[in-house]
Amino acid sequence: MLSALERFAPLPLQESWDNAGLQVGLTETEVSGALLCLDVNERIVDEAIRKGCNLIVSHHPLLFRGLKTISDLTDVQRTVMKAIENRLCVISMHTNMDNAKGGVNFRIARKLGLNDVQFFASKQIDGIEAGSGVVGKLAEPMAADDFILKVKKTFGVECAMCNELLRRPVRKVAICGGAGDFLLDEALKTGADAFITGEMHYHQYFGYEQQIQICVIGHYQSEQFTAEVFQEIIQEACPDVKTCIAETCTNPILYI
């Protein structure tokens, strides 16, 4: 199963600071079921145990940097301990899945019904085409406010952080799930009318009025459908393995 995931999103596609791949457990473990999620914490481990899954596949790595202690001091340490105690494996597919064809950003584009979806600011890594963002077209142009309402409905968000509403129709849309503000200028170069991402720094909203419609919907919200990609990969490669998309919401941000 790990090999199937890594064929789809090879580990060389991950960014240099990332830590995708096997996080906890043994590579030869026989899988009883796979719980698919965005983040890994104690509640996710509890859900996996409850559902009879001994494998967790997450988007965000449980371990970004090495642990010097494994105790009950932090959430990460407690999660690692609970996974080991219950003989669970944890695999994470992070920026390699962001950068892979058919990965996170392609799923966002599919949810929005975009056509002609392709990478922008693409790169070749070990002979594989990759990219941190995608661009595609709506079936029909939309007014900016209608477009933002469509995005909110599609991703179930309570609010979207936007710059001044564009006074021309939105047709071409650039996307980078998660923290994608570093691609804003590249999105503009594609001729995109709108740019959707999960996070953006305050000062980056300035200076793009009537150039591009910025629409920021939250990190968790933008990547919430990544588990669907995992499920499709696993079901195709290992059709007899039970897969469950996690019901536990791990978004740490409350909207009050």
- The strand pair at 170-179 and 194-199 is best described as parallel
For the residues 48-75, what does the mean pLDDT come to? Answer: 94
CA distance 35 to 59: 12
Q: What is the pLDDT of residue 121?
A: 82
Is there a contact between 215 and 162 (Cβ–Cβ < 8 Å)?
A: yes
Between the alpha carbon of residue 190 and those of residues 21, 118, 142, 232, the distances in Å are 32, 11, 18, 30
Interval 13-40 mean pLDDT: 94
Whether the per-residue pLDDT at 29 is higher than 90: the answer is no
What is the tens place of the pLDDT at every residue in 93-134?
Answer: 999 999 999 999 999 999 999 999 999 988 999 999 999 999
pLDDT one-digit tens code per residue, 204-232: 999 999 999 999 999 999 999 999 999 99
- Write out pLDDT tens, residues 135-144: 999 999 999 9
pTM above 0.85, yes or no: yes
% of the chain exceeding 70 in pLDDT: 100
3-state secondary structure of 109: helix
Q: What is the mean pLDDT of residues 226-254?
A: 97
Strand 213-216 and strand 161-162: pairing?
antiparallel
